[in-house]
Structure 1
Amino acid sequence: MSLYSIEIIQVGECAVDALEDDMLILFNKSVPADAAEYCFVHTHDELRGEISVGGEVVIDNKSYPITAVGDAVNQNLGNLGHITLRFDSADQADFVGSLHLSGAQPSTLNVGSTISFN
């Protein structure tokens, strides 16, 4: 069973630019207007467990192993659906809200794309 499963409902104007820099910024529908342009806005889910190293994130059926988890990832994802996925295989989180993954970032995400945290 997935710990958290979402669908993209809005893509901010600058969100794909951030993705090209290996950052996928997520926020639920409560995203502040000034931040929305940088985010992939999604449906919110209930966090059903702890996201941790050794787990995986599945984006549109492609799996990315989790290599590092920032100290605030679980709290931020559970409360606001707001974290940054970094596709850099780092073994230490650079920011408290960063979740680091192994693998090349997706080229793009669209409305209807799905992401699950396992």
Structure 2
Amino acid sequence: MMQSVVKSIGAEAINKEEPLLILFDTSATESLKKHAVIQEFSEEAINEIKVGDTLRFDDQEYKITQVGPVANQYLKEMGHVSIVFKEIGTEDQLANALYVEPFELPVIKEGTTITYG
């Protein structure tokens, strides 16, 4: 299990019409920060995420239903992962995404704890 804390939420990071959150660590560029949730991990080691694991935003829990082929690599390299809150499409799958259920955006704020695992 690993944890991060939300440090900032970009002005364009949350869109109720698009059930997606884009997360980066604090090394994200200023232009990325406008569209992303910036997280800071409490540990150096990033554990591998697998289907069936849980993802929590404070006390809001989600089940991981699919892990994109480069999601773990990007999470380790730059704290980057996209969280998708909708059914997995056959044509528009994101390689860096975690697909989760339920299909509902979480309520997040600066200071929200994100728990992977």
Q: TM-score range by the shorter chain?
A: 0.7 to 0.9
- The letter for the 1-side match of 2:57 is I
**Between 33-42 and 19-28, the greater mean CA deviation after superposition:** 19-28
- The letter for the 2-side match of 1:61 is D
Q: Distance in 2 between matches of 1:96 and 1:46?
A: 23
Q: 1:107 to 1:55 in 2, by over 3 A?
A: closer
TM-score, structure 1 as length reference? 0.87
- Specify which structure has the higher proportion of helix: 1
Give 1:105 deviation, angstroms: 2.5
3-state SS in 2 of match to 1:15: coil
- The letter for the 2-side match of 1:36 is K
- Partner of 1:105 in structure 2? 104
Give 1:82 deviation, angstroms: 0.5
- Partner of 1:114 in structure 2? 113
Runs of 4+ in 1 over 6 A off after TM superposition: none
Q: Determine which of 8, 11, 14 is the counterpart of 1:13.
A: 11
Decide whether the 8 Å contact of 2:87 with 2:103 is kept in 1: no
Q: Distance in 1 between matches of 2:89 and 2:52?
A: 11
Give 1:88 deviation, angstroms: 1.2
Q: Distance in 1 between matches of 2:116 and 2:17?
A: 21
How many positions carry a matched residue from both structures? Answer: 115
Identical-pair percentage: 25
RMSD after superposition = 1.9
Q: Where does the alignment leave 5 or more consecutive residues of structure 2 unmatched? A: none
Partner deviation per Cα, 1:53-103 (whole Å, 9 max, x = no partner):
111101111110000100111111111111100011428781110110011
Q: Where does the alignment leave 5 or more consecutive residues of structure 1 unmatched? A: none
- The letter for the 2-side match of 1:39 is A
3-state SS in 2 of match to 1:53: coil
- Partner of 2:78 in structure 1? 80
Q: Distance in 1 between matches of 2:87 and 2:65?
A: 6
Q: Distance in 2 between matches of 1:100 and 1:63?
A: 13
Give 1:48 deviation, angstroms: 4.3
- Partner of 1:32 in structure 2? 29
- The letter for the 2-side match of 1:26 is L
